[in-house]
Amino acid sequence: MSAIVIDGKAVAEEVKADVAKKVEGLKSRGIVPCLAVILVGENPASVSYVTGKRKALAAAGMADKSVLLPETATEQQVLDLIHELNEDSSVHGILVQLPLPKHIDEKKVTNAISPEKDVDGFHPVNVGKLLSGEKGFLPCTPHGIAVLLKKAGVATDGANTVVIGRSNIVGKPMALLLLRREYNATVTVCHTGTKNLAEYTKKADILIVASGHPHTVTADMVKSGAAVIDVGVNRIPDSSKKSGFRLIGDVDYDSVKEVAGYITPVPGGVGPMTIAMLIYNTLEAAENISLAEGK
Binding residues for NADP(+): 165-167, 233
* Choice among 16, 117, 118, 120 that is catalytic: 120
Is 97 labeled as catalytic in the residue annotation? yes
Rounded-to-integer distance, Cα 213 and Cα 172, Å: 18
- The kind and range of the H/E element at 163 are strand 160-164
Rounded-to-integer distance, Cα 223 and Cα 202, Å: 5
* Choice among 16, 97, 117, 257 that is catalytic: 97
CA trace torsion 210, 216, 219, 220 (10° rounding) = -120
The binding site comprises: 165-167, 233
User: In this structure, which amino acid lies at residue 121?
Assistant: G
Q: Would you tell me how many other CB atoms lie within 10 Å of the CB of residue 130?
A: 23
* Choice among 16, 53, 117, 257 that is catalytic: 53
- The kind and range of the H/E element at 186 are strand 186-190
Task: Collapse the DSSP code of 173 into the 3-class scheme (helix H, G, I; strand E, B; otherwise coil) and give the result.
Answer: helix
Is 151 labeled as catalytic in the residue annotation? no
Residue 131's nearest CA partner among 168, 79, 177 is: 177
CA 189 to mean position of chain CA atoms: 18
Is 117 labeled as catalytic in the residue annotation? no
Q: How is the beta sheet containing 186-190 ordered, strand by strand? A: 4-5, 262-263, 227-230, 206-209, 160-164, 186-190
Rounded-to-integer distance, Cα 35 and Cα 20, Å: 14
The catalytic site residues sit at 53, 97, 120
